[in-house]
C-alpha cells in the first residue's frame, strides 16, 4: 500500500466527518449533473429539429385536406421529414431513458434504499453517476457481480464513494490521455461488507487521487495496481 497522503486528518470530529461526506457526495454528483445538462441540451436540440420537420408534413396534410393535387416535390420532402422525425424520436427516447437512470441514481446516493441494498443496485447507481467522466476514458468493465447479492453497506454512503472514486480515477486517466478504461472488481466482505478494486491498463499519477483520499477518510487505499475502496 502506498503511504497515506499528508493532510489526511485522523480522529476528526463530527463536523469534519459531515464535511467529508458532503465533499464525497459533491464529487459523485458533479459528473452526474454535467451528464444531465448534456442530455437535456441534446433533447432540446432534437425537439427543435422535430418541430422544423413538421413543416413539410403540414404542407402535405393541408393539400390533402383541401383535395388539392400534391406535387411530387412536396411528397418527397414529407417522406424525408418523416424519416428524420423517426430518428429524432429515437434519440429523444434514449436521452429520456438516460435522464431517468441518472435521477434514480441520484436518489440512491441521497435516499436510503433499505438496510441491505442489492450490490447490483449500488454498482449501477454509482456507474451512472460517474458515466460522464468514465465514458471519456473508455468506460468501466465490471467483474465479480452476482445477481441477488445484498450488502450491509448503506447506499447513501456506498454509492457516492464508489461514484466519486470512479470519477476521480477517470479524471486521473484523462490527464494521461488514456482511453484504456477502468476495470472494477467487486468483492464481498465478511458480515455483508463490500470492497471494490479499481484498476486500469494505463498508468496514472497517484497524486491526482489525493483530494479524494482526504475526503474518503481512510475508506480507500492506493496500491501500485490501483485503488481498493471499502464501502
Per-chain mean pLDDT for the chain = 76
What is the reported pTM? 0.64
What angle (nearest 5°) sits at the alpha carbon of residue 170, between those of residues 201 and 179? 50
Number of domains making up the chain = 1
Q: Determine the Cα–Cα distance for residues 121 and 135; give it in Å rounded to an integer.
A: 19
59 within a domain of the structure (yes/no): yes
Q: pLDDT tens for residues 31-46?
A: 777 777 777 777 777 7
Res. 180 pLDDT band, cuts 50 70 90 = very high
The pLDDT value recorded for residue 63 is 64
Residue 5 inside a domain? The answer is no
Is residue 22 included in any domain, yes or no?
yes
Domain span at residue 168 reads 14-230
pLDDT of residue 137: 94
The pLDDT confidence band at residue 25, using thresholds 50, 70 and 90, is: low
Domain assignment of residue 8, yes or no: no
Answer yes or no: is 4 within a domain: no
- Which is nearest to 22 in space by CA: 208, 130, 126, 156? 156
pLDDT of residue 9: 37
Asked whether the beta carbons of 144 and 189 are under 8 A apart, the reply is: no
Question: Is 9 among the domain residues?
Answer: no
Residue 19 lies in a domain: yes
CA angle 173, 178, 179 (to 5 degrees): 115
Greater confidence, 147 or 12?
A: 147
Q: Is the pLDDT of residue 107 over 60?
A: yes
Q: How many angstroms separate the CA atoms of 79 and 183, rounded? A: 46
pLDDT tens readout for residues 114-168: 678 889 989 998 999 899 899 999 999 999 988 888 888 888 888 888 988 898 8
Amino acid at each position: 500500500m502506498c503511504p497515506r497522503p499528508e493532510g489526511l486528518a485522523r480522529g476528526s470530529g463530527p463536523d469534519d466527518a459531515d464535511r467529508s461526506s458532503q465533499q464525497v457526495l459533491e464529487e459523485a454528483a458533479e459528473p452526474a449533473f454535467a451528464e444531465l445538462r448534456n442530455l437535456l441540451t441534446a433533447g432540446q436540440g432534437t425537439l427543435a429539429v422535430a418541430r422544423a420537420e413538421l413543416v413539410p408534413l403540414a404542407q402535405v396534410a393541408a393539400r390533402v385536406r383541401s383535395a388539392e393535387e400534391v406535387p411530387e416535390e412536396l411528397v418527397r420532402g414529407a417522406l424525408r421529414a418523416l424519416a428524420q422525425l423517426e430518428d429524432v424520436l429515437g434519440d429523444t427516447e434514449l436521452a429520456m431513458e438516460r435522464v431517468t437512470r441518472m435521477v434514480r441514481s441520484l436518489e440512491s446516493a441521497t435516499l436510503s434504499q433499505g438496510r441491505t441494498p442489492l450490490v447490483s443496485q449500488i454498482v449501477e447507481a454509482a456507474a451512472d453517476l460517474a458515466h460522464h467522466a468514465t465514458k471519456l476514458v473508455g468506460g468501466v468493465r465490471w467483474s465479480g457481480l452476482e445477481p441477488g447479492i445484498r450488502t450491509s453497506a448503506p447506499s447513501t454512503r456506498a454509492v457516492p464513494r464508489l461514484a466519486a472514486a470512479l470519477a476521480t480515477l477517470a479524471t486521473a486517466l484523462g490527464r494521461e490521455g488514456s482511453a484504456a478504461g477502468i476495470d472494477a472488481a467487486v468483492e464481498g466482505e465478511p458480515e455483508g461488507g463490500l470492497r471494490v478494486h479499481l484498476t486500469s491498463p494505463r498508468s496514472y499519477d497517484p497524486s491526482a487521487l489525493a483530494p479524494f483520499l482526504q475526503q474518503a477518510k481512510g475508506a480507500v487505499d492506493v496500491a501500485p495496481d490501483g485503488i481498493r475502496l471499502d464501502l
